[in-house]
Structures are given as structure tokens and as C-alpha cells.
Amino acid sequence: MERRDGGGHRRALTRYLLARFASTVPVWVGISLLAFGLSALTPGDPATIILLRQTGEPPSVEAVRIVRRQLRLDDPFPARYGRWLLRAVQGDLGQSYRTGEPVLASLASRFPRTLAIAATAMAMALAVSLPLGVATAMFRGSGLDHGVRIATLLVASLPSFWLGYLLILLFAVWLHALPVAGSGTARHLVLPALTLAVGVGAGFSRLIRAALLEELWQGYTRTARARGVREILVILRHCLRNASIGLTTVAALRFGHLLAGAVIVETVFAWPGIGSFMVDAIYDRDYPVIQGFVLFTGTVFLALSLLADLAYSWLDPRIRLTRGGGDAVA
């Protein structure tokens, strides 16, 4: 185990951050290549679809040709990719074929809405799963433990659209407590966030339970108990912090999934976030939006992954950074 003074630790941390950040660059370029290449390989001509959507009628060959020329769709792949990547690093993801609006601005205007349901769902999930996970670990094998495990298994198996309909039925149709769908107020946020939170929270509570059970039989917990520390304090002060390392990784990834993949929930609840925007873009072969979305969410994933890595050293005091940076050793 290696120890450093404060300045040395800061330098090591900076080196680690830089190295970690540098390692994301090739991954990011790979994401950009996939984003651009895959959308270009999909069948279907965006010019045809744009015109079809506008008029409701199949377009003429001439109209398709003009739109293809305007959109420079006939240029070779490397030229189009190079042009796009160069603009992307400057913060320009191009313009939507359908709307003519800048892609980054469109994503930025919708992203806060998706972030709102994802963050609310994550907060709801953690608020419920933490006490449930702790309680079921403390009272393992009890009726509560079995009941919660069965309940979490059940709700984790429910498809989100089904759950969404049931929640609408209960809270909007029967109780008239919340709006069916739409956006604009905090009340509109509750049902879509809850729909997402149920599945995430169920998974978290099982994860916390399992991680805590593992920690409960470690040497340091036995020592704490031998010193007369109460069981609840052993769990909350000692076990939970160690157990939260795994949870951090999973939570970061789940949060990334919520940001990128709340498509069905956004559709059911008419929530105008980036998920539904992406689906429309796929249907309409709106390449700039598809490419921009994949790059945007890929970047968010990379950032979350980086943050999760950094959170380890804060959560676990045993983790120290090596002089060379990049690796963490205990």
C-alpha cells in the first residue's frame, strides 16, 4: 500500500484524470465512426422519406434527386464522415433533415426533459431501494426478506409500457390524482419517472441486499460487532459504504441507460424527450439526428463512466492512485 502527501496525491490524481480522459478519446472516435457508419448503412433513402412525410404522397424521382443533392447524400462516405467529425468536435452536429434545426440545439432542448425523468426516477429508485436493501439484508430469511424479494422480482419483470398503463389507470383514470400524459408541470413528471423507477429500484434493492450480505461476514464487521457496535450502525457506517462501490458503477450505467433509452416511457406518456426524438429520427432516416444522438449519448456514457471511476477513490479510502497514473491499487 502506497501513501502520499497532499501535493503528491493531487499530482497523481491530475495525472490519473488526464490519462483516464485520454483513454476515452479513441473510444469516442470509435463511437463516432459507428454512429456515422451504421446509420449510413441502414436501408431507406432519407430524401424519399422527408418528402413522403411532408406531402403524405410518394415523391417524384426528380424531387428526390434535388433533395439528395441539397443534403449532399451522394458524396463518398469518407468525405461525409470527415466533414461531420470535423464539425462535431467544434460542437456542430449538423441540421436535422426533417426540421432543418441544428441537431445539437434540438438535443439540448429535449435533453433537460429526459434528464428530469431520469434523475427523478433514479432518486425515487434509490430512496426506496436503499432502505429496502438494508432491511432485507438485516432480516435475511425473514418474511419481510422473502416478501420483498418476490415483489422486486415481480415488478422487475414487468414491461415498462404495461406498468405505465397500469399506473395511468390507477392514478389518472381512477384517482384523478395525476395527469395521464404530457409535460409542462411537476405533476406530469411523476408517472413516467415512477414507471422507470420501479424496475430500477427493484434491481437496486436486490443488489444492495446481496452486497451487504457479503460485507456482513467480513473481518472488519466482526471486529466492529465484537467492539459492541450495534448491528444497524455496523451496516450503515461500515458495510454500506463498501457495498456502495458496486452500486455506484451499476447506478452510473443505469442512469446512462435511462438517459438514452426511456423511449417507450416517453412514447406512452407523450413526454417530449430525446428518446422519442431519436425514434422519430430513426423512422425518418434523419441521419444527422441519429448520428448526433449516438455521439451525444455515447459521450454522456463515457462521462458517467469516468465519474464512477473517480467516485471509487472517494468512496473507498483503501484505493490510492499509482505514480504512473491510470491504475488504482489497494
Partner 1 sequence: MRRLAFVVALGAAACVGGPERGPAAGGRELVVGAGADATPSGAFQARLGVYPLNTNVAEPLVQLTSDFHVQPLLATRWEYRGANTWRFFLRPGVRFHDGQVLTSRAVKESLLQVVNARQGYSFLDEHSFRLPNDTTVEITPTEPNLRLPEQLVHPNYSIFAPGTNPGVRPVGTGPFRFIAYRPNDRIRVARNDSYWGERAILDRITFRFFPDATTRVLALTAGEVDLIVDLPREQVGTIVRRPDLRVARASPGLILALQVNSHGREPHGLLADRRLRHAIGLAIDRGGLVRQVWGGEADTVQNMTVPQVLGAFADSVRGFPFDPRAAADVLERAGWTRGPAGIRVKGGRPLRLTLLANPETDMGTAEFVQAELRRVGMDVTWLKLPDLGSYAARLARGEFDLNLSVSNQNDANPLFLPALIYHSRSTRPFARWHLAGARFDQVVDSGMRVADPVQARHLAARAIHLAVDEEAVLIPIAALYRLYGMKRTIGGFLPHPSQTNQSWSGVTVEATAAP
Task: Give the β-pairing of 320-321 and 328-329.
Answer: antiparallel
Q: How far apart are CA 216 and CA 223, in angstroms?
A: 11
Determine, following the binding rule CB under 8 A, whether residue 39 of this chain makes contact with partner 1: no
Given 96, 152, 248, 297, the residue binding partner 1 (CB under 8 A): 96
Contact 131, 264 (CB under 8 A): no
Ranges within 162-181 binding partner 1 (CB under 8 A):
162, 165-166, 168-169, 172-174, 176, 179-181
Determine, following the binding rule CB under 8 A, whether residue 54 of this chain makes contact with partner 1: yes
Contact 277, 266 (CB under 8 A): no
Residue 64, all three cell numbers: 428526390
Given 16, 269, 296, 301, the residue binding partner 1 (CB under 8 A): 269
Given 37, 58, 82, 324, the residue binding partner 1 (CB under 8 A): 58
Contact 277, 106 (CB under 8 A): yes
Determine, following the binding rule CB under 8 A, whether residue 283 of this chain makes contact with partner 1: yes
Cα–Cα nearest to 232, from 138, 143, 126: 138
Given 48, 249, 305, 313, the residue binding partner 1 (CB under 8 A): 48
Determine, following the binding rule CB under 8 A, whether residue 275 of this chain makes contact with partner 1: no
Least separation, in Å, of the C-beta of 37 and partner 1? 17
Least separation, in Å, of the C-beta of 165 and partner 1? 4
Given 7, 43, 76, 317, the residue binding partner 1 (CB under 8 A): 43
Amino acid at site 12: A
Contact 97, 50 (CB under 8 A): yes
Given 78, 143, 184, 228, the residue binding partner 1 (CB under 8 A): 184
| Cα–Cα separations (whole angstroms), residue 276 to 75, 88, 253, 270, 280 | 29, 22, 20, 9, 6
Stretch that binds partner 1, among 93-101, 201-209, 251-259, 291-299 (CB under 8 A): 93-101
Determine, following the binding rule CB under 8 A, whether residue 234 of this chain makes contact with partner 1: no
Stretch that binds partner 1, among 15-23, 36-44, 75-83, 212-220 (CB under 8 A): 36-44
Helix (H, G, I), strand (E, B) or coil at 14: helix
Determine, following the binding rule CB under 8 A, whether residue 100 of this chain makes contact with partner 1: yes
Residues in the chain: 330
Helix (H) or strand (E) holding 321: strand 320-321
Number of residues that bind partner 1 (CB under 8 A): 57
Q: What is the DSSP letter of 328?
A: E
Q: Which residues bind partner 1 (CB under 8 A)?
A: 42-46, 48-64, 66, 95-96, 98-101, 159, 161-162, 165-166, 168-169, 172-174, 176, 179-184, 267-270, 272, 276, 280, 282-285
